A and B are shown apart, each in its own frame.
Chain A
Amino acid sequence: MLDWLDAFLITGLFHVVMITGLALLLHLQLGLARIANFGIVGFWGIGMYTFGVLYVQVDWSFGDPWQFLVCAAAATLVAGVAGLLVGWLIADLDTDGVLVVTLGFATAVQILATTQDDLTGGARGMGGLGFPYDIGSVKENEFLWLVILAAVVAAILLYVWRVHRSPYGRSLIAVGGNEPLARSLGKSTFRTKLWLFAVTSAAMGLLGAMFGVMVRFLDVGQIGIGITLAAMVGLVLGGTARVWGAVVGVVLTVGLFDIVVQSYLPLPKEWYTQAIPVLREAIFGATLIVVLLFRPLGILGDMQRDKLMRKIHGE
C-alpha cells in the first residue's frame, strides 16, 4: 500500500499543511487585529515541548491513544495560557512593543528548552515519541497522521472563516482599524485581544504537539525563527486580509520549496544539505520585501466584507 507515495512527499505535505494552519492563525492576529506576532515559533514550540516532556518523561498508567490525547490537551492548554499572558502583556503596547514581547517570548521558550536539558534533552534532543496508533508500516502511520493534521487544519480554516462573519471578527477588525474608536464605542478591545491570543496560541501549541509526533525526535534546532518566517511569508504573499490568503501563499512558498524542489527537481544531491535551505530562507525574506513594497495586500487583495458592509458602502 502507498507505494506510489514518496516518503519525502508525505513530510513535505505535512509541513505545508502545518504552516498553513499557523498562517491561518496569524491571519487573525496580523490580518484582522493588525498585531504582528514575531513569536509564533514560541507558542508552537511550547506546545511541542510540553507534549514531548509529558509524553516521554511522565510514567502514565494508561497507554495510547489516551496518553496522546491527555498530553496533547495539556500542550494546547499550556500554549493557550502562554498566549493569554503574552496577550495581556501586549494589550497596551504599540507595534514596537509587540515586536519586543513576542520575540522575547520566543527567545525565552528557546532558552528554557536549551537549559532544562534534563527534561527536554536540550541540544542533544529527545526521542521516545511515537504515533498514538499502529496501522502497519511507518509510511502508512505517517500518512494517517497527515490526514489527521489536515482535518485539524481544515477545522482551523472553518473557525477562521466563521470568525470573519461573526461579531467577534468585526471587533477584531475594529481593533486593527482604529482601536481608540472601537474603545470609545464601548467595545472591550482588551478582552478581544486576550481571547484572540489565548485561542490562536492554543491552536499553535496543538500544531506543535502534532509536529512532535510526526518527527518523533525533538531538538532545540527545530524552534528557530524559520517557523515564524514560513507562516509570515505565506500569509503576506497570499494576502493578509483574506481567509484563503494563508492557504494560497503557503502552497506557493513552502509548497514550492518543500515539495517541488525537494521531490521533483533534478538538482545535485549536495545542494540539498546547505545551498537549498539557505536559498529558501533568502528567497522567503526577499518575498516579504517585494510583496509589501509592490502589492501590500498580497495575491488575493483586499477583504471581501459581507453583504451588509457592502450595502453600507454602496458597492
Chain B
Amino acid sequence: MELITQPLVIGLTEDAPLVLAAIGFALLYRLTGLINVAYAETITLGAYFGMWLNTSFGLDFYAVVLPAGLLAGAVSVATYLVVFRPAKQRNVGVLEMIIISFGLSIFLRHGLQFFFGYPTRFYDVPPPDTIYVLGVGVTSFRLLAVASVAALSLLLYLFIQRSSYGLKIRALASDEDLAKVSGIRPLAVTVLIWFLAGVAGGLAGAFLGVGSSVAPLLGWREFLLILMVVLVGGTWGLGGVILVGMATSVALAALALQFDQILYAQLVLIVAFVIILKVRGTRLTETAKV
C-alpha cells in the first residue's frame, strides 16, 4: 500500500507547482502559438518577488503568495509589450521567436541578480506544520500549493471555457482576423492571456521557492519538464496538460523513491517524453508534416 500512496502523495503535493506552471505555459502556447523559454524566469521572478516581500516587509507567506503572482503577471505583460509584440509586428519567424525568448530568458535570469543579489536566498518563514495524508507527512505550504493549484486550475478552466472573455480568447487564438472583424480587441485580450500565464507561473515560483530556496536557476530547472508536459499533454487541451502534469509528478516521485536519486528519475522521464514525441512525429502523415 505504501508503495502506491507514498509516490502519489509526495508527487501530487511536492510537484503541484509544476502543474500550475504547466497550465500557465500551455495557455500561452495554445493561445498565442509561442514557445516562451523566458517563462522559466516568470517562475523564478515569482519566487524572488515572494521572498522580497516576505523578507523586506516581514509579511507572512500566505500574505505574499498572491502579490508575488500578480507582480510576475505584470512582468509577463511587460515582456509581451516590450519584446514579443514588436517581434510579431516585424513578422519574426517561429524559429527566431524561440531564440528571442531564449535570449530574454538569459537576460532576465542574469539581470535579476543585480536587483536581488547573487547568493541563494531563503524565505523567512516559521517551520511549516506537518500534516499526515494517507500516512505520509506533508508540510502545510505544500497542501496550500495543492489547494491553490486545484482552485486556480478550475477557475482558469471555467474562465476560458465559460466566460465571455474566455470566448474572446479562444476566438482570437483560432482566427485573429475573424476575431477582429467580430469586434474583439486583440491587444486587450492578448495582454490578459499573458497576465494570466504570468500569474500562474509566479504563484508556482512562490510555492517552489518557499519549499526549498530561491536561486536564479529555479525556474530553468523546471522548464524542460514543463515544456515536455505541455507539448505531450497539450494535444488534449488544458485538461490533458493537467492530467499529464499530475502523472509526471507522481512518476517523478515514484522513480525518485525507486532510484534514491531524483536525477535518474528526471533522466527516465526525459527519455520517455522524447520517445512519445518521436513516435507521434513519425505517425504524422506526409501532408501533416508540411
Measured CB to CB, the residues of A under 8 A from B are 30, 34, 36, 38, 89, 92-93, 95-97, 99-101, 103-104, 107-108, 111-112, 114-115, 179-180, 225, 229, 232-233, 236, 274, 278-279, 281-282, 284-289, 292-293, 296
Contact of B114 among A107, A108, A112, A278 (CB under 8 A): A278
Contact of A97 among B104, B220, B281 (CB under 8 A): B281
13 further A-B contacts with Cβ under 8 Å, apart from A100-B227, A282-B106, are A36-B99, A38-B102, A93-B281, A97-B281, A99-B37, A100-B274, A104-B273, A107-B270, A229-B102, A281-B106, A285-B103, A289-B100, A293-B92
Residues of chain B lying within 8 A (CB to CB) of residue A30: 95
B106 touches A100 (CB 8 A): no
B228 touches A100 (CB 8 A): yes
Complex CA distance for A285 and B78, rounded to whole angstroms: 17
Complex CA distance for A288 and B220, rounded to whole angstroms: 18
B95 touches A95 (CB 8 A): yes
Complex CA distance for A286 and B110, rounded to whole angstroms: 11
Contact of A95 among B98, B110, B111 (CB under 8 A): B98
Q: Given A101-B274, A103-B227, do A114 and B263 touch, yes or no (CB 8 Å)?
A: yes
Interface size on B, residues (CB 8 A): 48
Residue ID in chain B nearest A35 by CB atoms: B95
Q: Enumerate 18 A-B pairs (CB-CB under 8 Å) in ascending A order.
A: A36-B98, A38-B102, A96-B98, A96-B231, A97-B277, A99-B98, A100-B274, A101-B274, A104-B270, A107-B224, A112-B267, A180-B289, A225-B220, A278-B113, A282-B106, A285-B104, A292-B92, A292-B100
Complex CA distance for A287 and B83, rounded to whole angstroms: 12
Residues of chain A lying within 8 A (CB to CB) of residue B284: 92
Residues of chain A lying within 8 A (CB to CB) of residue B270: 104, 107-108
Q: Given A92-B284, A282-B110, A289-B100, do A103 and B224 touch, yes or no (CB 8 Å)?
A: yes
Complex CA distance for A100 and B264, rounded to whole angstroms: 18
Residues of chain A lying within 8 A (CB to CB) of residue B107: 282, 285-286, 289
Complex CA distance for A97 and B227, rounded to whole angstroms: 10
A95 touches B94 (CB 8 A): yes
Best-buried of A97, A279, A282, A284 by chain B (most CB within 10 Å): A282
A274 touches B110 (CB 8 A): no
Residue ID in chain A nearest B287 by CB atoms: A180
Q: Given A95-B98, A99-B35, A111-B266, do A281 and B224 touch, yes or no (CB 8 Å)?
A: no
Q: Given A180-B289, A292-B103, do A285 and B273 touch, yes or no (CB 8 Å)?
A: no
Q: B36 → chain A, closest Cβ, in Å?
A: 11
Complex CA distance for A112 and B95, rounded to whole angstroms: 29
B90 touches A288 (CB 8 A): no
- Nearest first, the 6 A-B pairs at minimum CB distance are A288-B103, A285-B106, A285-B107, A92-B281, A282-B110, A281-B110
Residues of chain B lying within 8 A (CB to CB) of residue A289: 83, 100, 103-104, 107
Measured CB to CB, the residues of B under 8 A from A are 35, 37, 83, 86-87, 90, 92, 94-96, 98-100, 102-111, 113-114, 118, 220, 224, 227-228, 231, 261, 263-264, 266-267, 270-271, 273-274, 277-278, 281-282, 284, 286, 289-290
Q: Given A97-B277, A278-B114, do A293 and B224 touch, yes or no (CB 8 Å)?
A: no
Complex CA distance for A112 and B267, rounded to whole angstroms: 8
Residues of chain A lying within 8 A (CB to CB) of residue B277: 89, 93, 97, 100-101
Complex CA distance for A244 and B231, rounded to whole angstroms: 36
Residue ID in chain A nearest B35 by CB atoms: A96
Q: B97 → chain A, closest Cβ, in Å?
A: 8
Contact of A229 among B106, B273, B286 (CB under 8 A): B106
Residues of chain A lying within 8 A (CB to CB) of residue B90: 293
A288 touches B106 (CB 8 A): yes
Q: Given A103-B227, A279-B110, A289-B107, do A34 and B102 touch, yes or no (CB 8 Å)?
A: no
Residues of chain B lying within 8 A (CB to CB) of residue A286: 103, 107
Complex CA distance for A284 and B111, rounded to whole angstroms: 11
Residues of chain B lying within 8 A (CB to CB) of residue A284: 103, 106
Complex CA distance for A62 and B221, rounded to whole angstroms: 42
Q: B265 → chain A, closest Cβ, in Å?
A: 10
B92 touches A100 (CB 8 A): no
A115 touches B110 (CB 8 A): no
A100 touches B100 (CB 8 A): no
Complex CA distance for A86 and B277, rounded to whole angstroms: 13
Q: A96 → chain B, closest Cβ, in Å?
A: 5
B95 touches A278 (CB 8 A): no
Best-buried of A101, A236, A284 by chain B (most CB within 10 Å): A101
Residue ID in chain A nearest B234 by CB atoms: A96
Q: A298 → chain B, closest Cβ, in Å?
A: 11
Q: B93 → chain A, closest Cβ, in Å?
A: 8
Q: A229 → chain B, closest Cβ, in Å?
A: 6
Complex CA distance for A130 and B220, rounded to whole angstroms: 34
Q: B270 → chain A, closest Cβ, in Å?
A: 5
Complex CA distance for A145 and B113, rounded to whole angstroms: 36
A292 touches B110 (CB 8 A): no
Complex CA distance for A38 and B103, rounded to whole angstroms: 12
Q: B109 → chain A, closest Cβ, in Å?
A: 8
B103 touches A104 (CB 8 A): no
Q: B48 → chain A, closest Cβ, in Å?
A: 15
A285 touches B105 (CB 8 A): yes
Contact of A274 among B94, B106, B118, B282 (CB under 8 A): B118
B228 touches A104 (CB 8 A): yes
B266 touches A115 (CB 8 A): no
Complex CA distance for A225 and B228, rounded to whole angstroms: 18
